[in-house]
Amino acid sequence: MKKPFITLEQAKQIIAEHPTPFHIYDEKGMRENARLVNKAFAWNKGFKEYFAVKATPTPGILQVLKEEGCGADCSSFTELMIAEMVDFKGHDIMFSSNMTPAEDFVKAAEMGAIINFDDFTHIEFFSKLVEIPETVCCRYNPGGMFQVANDIMDNPGDSKYGMTKEQMKEGFRILKEKGAKHFGIHSFLASSTRTNTYYPMLAKILFELAVELKEELDIHIAFINLSGGVGIPYHPEEEACDIMEIGAGVQKVYEEIFAPKGMEDVAIYTEMGRYMMAPYGSLIATAIHEKHIYKEYIGLDACAANLMRPAMYQAYHHVTVLGKEEAVCDHTYDVAGGLCENNDKFAIDRQLPKIDMGDIVYIHDTGAHGHAMGYNYNGKLRSAELLLQEDGGITVMRRAETPEDYLATLDCTPFYKK
């Protein structure tokens, strides 16, 4: 059973000042989780978690994670600006982008970020803009299918990201000629995995590649970035990954491959978004309509503009009706929003307790790729983001949008009429 991190009474007090819908985040949970991740990889002196800013691009969240020792993984000019707002500097920033505009590369270089080249052609593109830095990284794509035992986890060969092995070799050779001295390898082969073996399997692939590149090109491998991909249990019956077991699995491979080669100085980086934040955010909404036709519908004051994942990916997010956690789930509902799209549903044929108008609905696990993926279709406005502080207080990290915000970019000058 999934347990909300706020009670009905807390929700009512918050809503009295901050109307629904809004996203709220649990500072205590975030900090405890970040500390556990650092503990799991404490065996590696250079370990650093670069939080994937794309998951929750909110300075208040980044500040909390920065205080827990995290860096920032950015993928765009604007994300770099957000990191800058929280005073991330230099190698505390990993810039991992693709199809990258020139101004994004220049901004990342100016900030001293570690540049993670997604494609071989980006090396020459970048070098025409700014000087190649001493520390660089390239993203590897081994192609084919990636699987654990008989279960196919993802299809790297169908992914737009990364370079082939031959491109990695040629890319590192060119980067060395242009002055690079320290090299990193990055890869992302599967998304939202719930197995403790994903990181160790990925580590083995990247560690073996690192040894090959070091010996063939006579270069210093400074770090391996395992990227993200560690998932969470969105369904209540699912088991969570064991980050301690994951860290120990990576350590075992590290000792098997790097220790005999005298490469114990290689740092391990991760850049998790979902694992770091998803369980520590929720979307709070109010039931405002009910509809009885061929199915039973509950209409919320939130919609897919507040949480796109169910509509876009048919992703499951658990729903709790606050104050009715112990009630019998004997009603079958589609829980829907008000967009003019039939896929605007948070839950389909979901067994829930009887929902009355005015009930407060808690949608779980929206802390990553929740508010961040919001949009303004139908003129819907982005919701506020609140932080539940460790002491129980509430901080507004982002206010709700207003119609004036939505209209601000329009030029309403009357069109010229003949």
Average pLDDT score, the chain:
95
Model confidence at 241: pLDDT above 80:
yes
Q: 3-state DSSP call for residue 306? A: coil
Q: Would the pLDDT of 152 be above 60?
A: no
Q: Judge whether residue 185 has pLDDT over 60.
A: yes
**What's the pLDDT score for residue 160?**
85
Measured between alpha carbons, how far is residue 382 from residues 180, 276, 317, 352 in Å?
A: 43, 23, 19, 27
User: What type of residue sits at position 247?
Assistant: G
Say if residue 148's pLDDT is above 70.
no
* pLDDT greater than 60 at residue 417: no
Instruction: Write down the residue that tokens 């990954």 correspond to.
Output: 241
What number is the average pLDDT over the span 262-267?
97
Buried b (16+ CB within 10 A) or exposed e, 346-384: bbeebebbebeeebbbbbbbbbbbbbbbbeeeeebbbbb
The model's pLDDT over 8-51, given as tens digits with 9 standing for 90+, comes to: 999 999 999 999 999 999 999 999 999 999 999 999 999 999 99
What are the chain's domains? 89-272 (3.20.20.10), 279-402 (2.40.37.10)
Give one DSSP letter per residue of 383-417, joined into a string. Answer: PEEEEE-TTS-EEEEEPPP-HHHHHTT---PPPP-
- 272-311: per-residue pLDDT in tens? 999 999 999 999 999 999 999 999 999 999 999 999 999 9
Mean pLDDT of 303-327: 97
Confidence of residue 145 (pLDDT cuts 50, 70, 90): low
Give residue 153's pLDDT band: very low, low, confident or very high (50, 70, 90). Answer: very low
Lowest-confidence range among 11-20, 157-166, 223-232? 157-166
Residue 65 has pLDDT above 50, yes or no: yes
CB atoms within 10 A of CB 321: 21
Q: How would residue 157 be classed by pLDDT, with cut points 50, 70 and 90?
A: low
Give residue 109's pLDDT. 98
Asked whether residue 367 carries a pLDDT value surpassing 70, the answer given is yes
> Tokens standing for 256?
């098997």
Rounded to two decimals, the pTM is: 0.95
Stretch 200-209: mean pLDDT: 97
